[in-house]
Structure 1
Amino acid sequence: MTRTDVTWTQANARRLARQGLAGPQSPAFDSPADVTGAMLGAHAQVLSAGELSVALRLPSGTTRADVREALWTDRTLTKTYGPRGTVHLLPTADLPMWTGALSAIPAGPNPWPDHVRMTPEQTDEVVAAVRDALAGEPLTVDELTDAIVDRTGTWAGDRVMEAFQDRWPRWRQATHTAAHRGALAFGPNRGRKVTYTSPGVTPMDGHAALDALVRRYLYAYGPATPAHFATWLAAPKAWAGEVFTGLAAAGRVEEVGFEGSPAWVVSGDTSFPDAAPPRGVRLLPYFDAYVIACRPRERLFPGAAFGRALAGGQAGNYPVVLVNGTVAGVWHQRRSGRRIAVTVEPIGPALATARAPSDLAAQVDRVAEALEARAELTVGRVTVGPHA
């Protein structure tokens, strides 16, 4: 069988289309849950950035309020710990897959010192206590701590974890584990206090869940390698290689050539566009899924963009401007009431092309619409640092 060879331009065009970032030819997403499913989660460590990631992929007129309604009213989205152990918005319907897959990733070395760390048995006990405590109403951290101590013992509440000039109770080192096992998710804030709730989910079998997650990842961001998948998931690379080998042996994924090197796609998913590169301007917020997942990174951040729009090689710390599918600027927004001052800093000449200025203005207006505000655009130097 002749191996399919894929160029960066072809891969990038298909990824943009499947992400809803390629204009009229992109999928017509019907809801925030559809969007987050296609993205494989919207990074929401900064919730406003996650809301914007989702809203910008939906039709004009969609705002952050629509995303919040899906999250807190309709509950078609869930805020929880997703890939890389970071907070994400995930489709509630996909939680069995996510929890099954995330709980099947081999645990890395325990980073906590001996006097702080919990044993595997204690971790299991805490997760069971979390599941039981959150079976009712959402609880704040302090309320959940009391409920866990009542069910396990005082050791779980010992304030031994150094954290932000404070000390957290011992059980909190199992927070991510509890989320990945389907025992915990975020509830609506109570004033300024975070709450946790039960997602009410039973994880899928780990093998089946990983099968589904790898193929969903490759559909969205392929061609990709096991190392790309491992980095995206914050999982061991050797383990990811074994997962891909098993899926290849089962005929679930197949190898293609990608920029001269072997990579993988879902079996049979080898159709790529032959047309010219995608056209247009897009503004993407902090830690947008597209810039996090797309590889090779030096092609997405070409030339000077690699140094200016990345922070020590890490994507997402700067909101970026895509021009024709690659990073050609960074931007920053400052809100004052209903007004948003947007500063866009071009990188290279792409934003000065004939069509880009009007496209840029339209995109800034779309960002303001999604954030329920009015925009003022300035083209100039972004003076704030990463993640500001």
Structure 2
Amino acid sequence: MTSLSWDQVCARRLDRHRLSAPTSAAGLAPEADTVAAVVSTMCGAHAQVASAAELSVGLRVPGATRALVRQALWMDRALVKSRGPRGTVHLLAAADLPMWTGALSALPVASHEQSLLTPGQTEQVLAALADALAEAELTTDELTEQVVARTGPWAGERVMDAFQDKWPRWISAMTAATRGGVICFGPNRGRSTTHTSPTRWLPGFAPMDGTPALAELVRRYLYAYGPATPAQFARWLSAPATWAATLFESLDLAPVTVEGTRAWVAAGDTDFPDDRPSGVRLLPYFDAYTVGCHPRDLLFPGAAADRALARGQAGNYPVLLVDGTVAGVWHQRRSGRRIHVTVEPLRTLGASRLRALEEQVERVGQVLEGTASLTIGPVQVGPHA
């Protein structure tokens, strides 16, 4: 069995996440296909906060700006905004949507997802959504009107708990609709979110069959985040650990050890670099690297676990990455085109790393189409501020 060091694992992940290459490329004009390829390799970019997704992707594509990410999404439709791992909003490569919907549809269904609708009612809602969104971009309120008109008043009953409000009954079918490829996000209309049909992004779209889709998703996940255990995959996907263990057993995977702990990679993908991980990076909220990589105690060593995790959850703080591991937190505050970046390192940075950090701050400004300045000091804001 191949025995790996944390440095080897870190170096491979950095390379595959496009975090080991130079961050700037003067005169380079990347294309939407390049953006989509990077998002595909990441297994999606968390997009609950749009600006964080734009920065997460832009920092991995030399020469890219947030405008290019938006173009890839809304104009070229090389990306699609939908719900991916953990049911959270993600940017996904449009070409990967058949795999994603096939795999997500094959996940075990939680009991709470079935409590407000009968199977027959769910099918009615899915049919109504498909019909209403075939050639339209509708807000939630508009979609409620369309679904009720096609099904009945029961679909609009406000019975679903939603923070301090109630949502219409039909929204409890949203998970099934997203997983099944019936619905995705459209461009915002002012401050209102819209929904549309994935077939408008990917003509001829149809979900893959569940079994091959899950196998492909595991392979993609292990390519970007491996070596990993079934429990880590289950956590990334928000699926039962026992189900994930059975899935791993059914696939052609190779066991390795990382610092003495057993984990898995895809069969035939067992090459790891001998070089040490290197580089300084600033990663935004819920960046795929920090959310998906494990073990947490190696990725967030020592003081980083207390400072950069929120009750053990990664992603709530933007992080400073030094040589592949978390070494601080940071925060940005924008005023017009000026972006004020405060970085709180958890250890002393030498002159070369300070220069690399300044370059990263400059690159953050380029991606966000502003001018960024750096302050070294304590970050005063809380998680997800």
TM-score tier, shorter chain, comes to over 0.9
Indicate yes or no: 2:340 matched with 1:337.
no
Structure-2-length-normalised TM-score: 0.94
1:256 Cα shift?
1.3
The gaps in structure 2 that reach 5 residues or longer are 24-29, 200-204
Deviation at 1:111, TM superposition (A): 6.7
CA distance in 2, matches of 1:197, 1:296: 38
CA distance, structure 1, for counterparts of residue 43 and residue 370 of structure 2:
28
Distance 1:166 1:257 in 2: 48
Aligned residue for 1:227, secondary structure, equals helix
Q: Is the 8 A contact 2:11 2:278 kept in 1?
A: no
Flag as ranges the 4+ runs of structure 1 deviating above 6 A. none
How many residues align? The count is 373
In 2, the alpha carbon distance for the partners of 1:254 and 1:64 equals 38
Partner of 1:109 in structure 2?
A: 111
Match of 1:213 among 208, 212, 217: 217
1:1-388 to 2 correspondences below 5 Å: 3-24=1-22, 31-59=34-62, 61-110=63-112, 117-200=116-199, 201-247=205-251, 252-275=252-275, 277-349=276-348, 352-388=349-385
Aligned-partner residue type, residue 76 of structure 2 = D
Q: Report SS of the residue matched to 2:351.
A: coil
Cα-to-partner distance string for 1:331-375 (whole Å, 9 max, x where unaligned)? 0000010001110011123xx223111001000000010000011
Shift of 1:327: 0.6
Contact 2:319/2:330, CA 8 A, preserved across alignment:
yes
* 1:7-52 Cα distance to aligned partner (Å, 9 max, x none): 1110110000011001259xx9962101100100000000110011
CA-to-aligned-CA distance 1:123-174 (integer Å, 9 cap, x gap): 2221221111111111111111111111111111011123243221111122
- Distance in 2, Cα, partners of 1:384 & 1:214: 36
Aligned partner of 2:27 in structure 1 is none
Consecutive unaligned residues of structure 1, counting only runs of 5 or more, are none
Contact 1:184 1:197 in 2 (8 A): yes
Q: What is the SS of the residue equivalent to 2:198?
A: coil
Conserved in 1, the CA contact under 8 Å of 2:155 and 2:168?
yes
% identical aligned pairs: 62
Q: Which residue identity lines up with residue 357 of structure 2 in the other structure?
A: L
The alpha carbon displacement at 1:376 in A equals 1.6
Q: What is the CA deviation profile of residues 305-347 of structure 1, one whole-angstrom value per residue up to 9, with x for unaligned ones?
A: 0000001100000000001111111000000100011100111
Matched position secondary structure for 2:357? helix
| 1:109, distance to aligned residue in structure 2 (A) | 2.4
Separation in 2, partners of 1:308, 1:24 = 28
Matches of 2:235 and 2:120 in 1, distance apart? 29
Distance, in Å, in 1 between the alignment partners of 2:269 and 2:161 is 47
* Alignment partners' CA distance in 1, 2:11 and 2:310: 25
Once residues 22 and 303 of structure 2 are traced to their aligned partners in structure 1, the CA distance between those partners, rounded to angstroms, is 30
CA contact (8 A) 2:183 2:196 kept: yes
How far does the alpha carbon of each residue in 1:270-310 deviate from its partner, in whole angstroms, 9 at most, with x for none? 111112x2221100000000000110011010000000000
Show CA shifts across 1:238-295 (max 9, x none). 1001111111xxxx211112221221111011111112x2221100000000000110
Contact 1:282 1:323 in 2 (8 A): yes
Shift of 1:122: 1.8
Q: Please list the CA deviations of residues 87-124 of structure 1 after superposition, one character each: whole Å capped at 9, or x if unmatched.
A: 00000000000000001000122178x6xx11232222
2:329 maps to a residue whose letter is: V
Give the 3-state SS of the residue equivalent to 2:315 in structure 1: coil
Cα distance in 1 for partners of 2:257, 2:345 equals 33
Q: 1:78 to 1:111 in 2, by over 3 A?
A: closer
Letter in 2 for 1:108: A
Which is further off, 261-270 or 289-298? 261-270
Given that 2:255 and 2:264 are in contact with CA atoms closer than 8 Å, whether structure 1 keeps it comes out as yes
Tell me the TM-score normalized by structure 1: 0.93
Q: Counterparts of 1:353 and 1:325 in 2: how far apart (Å)?
A: 16
Q: Is the 8 A contact 1:304 1:348 kept in 2?
A: no
Which deviates the most, 88-97 or 255-264? 255-264
The answer to whether the 8 A contact 2:113-2:173 is kept is no
